[in-house]
Amino acid sequence: MTEFWLISAPGDKTCQQTWDKMMAATTRTNNLSTNHKFNIPDLKVGTLDVLVGLSDELAKLDSFVEGVVKKVAQYMADVLEDSRDKVQENLLANGVDLVTYITRFQWDMAKYPIKQSLKNISEIISKQVTQIDNDLKTRASAYNNLKGNLQNLERKNAGSLLTRSLADIVKKDDFVLDSEYLITLLVVVPKTGYSDWQKAYETLAEMVVPRSSHLLFEDSDSGLFSVTLFRKAIDDFKHKARENKFTVRDFQYNEEEMKADKEEMTRLSTDKKKQFGPLVRWLKVNFSEAFIAWIHIKALRVFVESVLRYGLPVNFQAMLLQPNKKTMKKLREVLNDLYKHLDSSAAAIIDVSASIILNTE
């Protein structure tokens, strides 16, 4: 986890002096943090009423956009499945890693023209990220349904012999088919009970065909045996098999159904592979878009809060601090001490301003 503090301090005679003072207090003598200037362009201030209203709206929009960023990132991890170690390389902003993007932040004039009012810019971001959120729901739903159907089929072909599908285990030659009198049953026998089965199966009911049992498949616990008997003896055989801890599986050999199941699995698997590439590309592009929008929201919030706290003309320096984990408490004390001459609400800007926490592991 990488944590950043985005703070704003009123300009002294120049903003550079504000920067130098903060650097001297936090970096040059005590190495409390790594600092970067956070460049916010000359945005349109508007009226005080608009700024006050925007302050609340931007806080809500910040939470919403952060939520979408996290959702897209989490879904990327879900989609990559066994390649989760590649998540980080796919979560970029403007083609660079997230820390680089934040520490070298430049306002995107093309996406968010600064000639627009602050409210308009926030509405542009809100519409853009809402669209991403809606698209994510639609795409995730379609892909999850496909993935779920495939997993259900795969689950049918996995597990123990007591529950799994037997279609991919048995062959046509294992059965007596199209007989009016005879039928082949499939029986699951624990490995510890093989000798008991061989001794007992011919006498579990009348009309069992002698020497008709064959071991067709084994897993770690059990074996699947075939046995042929007369149809009229089925119920009696099943009852006696249960008493002896042998499990008769309900199975009818139907070539068309088995072929349809295999074709369905192939189709779903092919569809999933076809959708995987475009979905990952969409997630990459839209993670970048949502993350960029999120950092622009942070910039808007710092601008609005700074104007409300420090007044006009606009004169403040926004700064991005990456605290050293062991000295966070000390850093907070130094910053509070540095700006304690401000009024009480401004002195609390460290708590009010934006905290950005990135998963960069």
Q: Write down the mean pLDDT value for the chain.
A: 91
Residue pair 310/346 in contact (Cβ under 8 Å)? The answer is yes
pLDDT for 343 equals 61
Residue 351 has a pLDDT of: 40
H/E element, 9: strand 2-10
Same domain for 86 and 194: no
Cis amide leading into 313 (omega within 30): yes
- pLDDT of res. 159: 83
Q: What pLDDT sits at residue 174?
A: 95
* Pair 183, 214 in one domain: yes
pLDDT at 156: 82
- Tally the domains of the chain: 2
Q: Are 267 and 138 in contact (CB under 8 A)?
A: no
Domain of residue 202: give its range.
172-252
8 A C-beta contact, residue 92 and residue 289: no
The CA distance from 25 to 23, in Å, is 5
258 within some domain: no
* In a shared domain, residues 73 and 99: yes
Using a 10 angstrom Cβ sphere, with 0-12 exposed, 13-18 middle and 19 or more buried, the burial of residue 287 is buried
What is the average per-residue pLDDT within 2-20?
A: 90
Query: Which range has the worst mean pLDDT, 109-113, 313-317, 320-324, 346-350?
Result: 346-350
- pTM of the complete model: 0.80
**Among 194, 225, 252, which residue terminates a domain?**
252
What is the CATH number for 111?
1.20.1460.10
Structure confidence at residue 344 as a pLDDT band (50, 70, 90): low
Count Cα atoms within 13 angstroms, Cβ side, for 88: 9
The pLDDT score that the predictor gives to residue 360 is: 38
Same domain, 80 and 113: yes
- Does the pLDDT of residue 269 top 70, yes or no? yes
- Among the candidates 218, 252, 286, a domain finishes at 252
Residues 275 and 134 in one domain: yes
Q: Which pLDDT band holds residue 355 (cuts at 50, 70, 90)? A: low
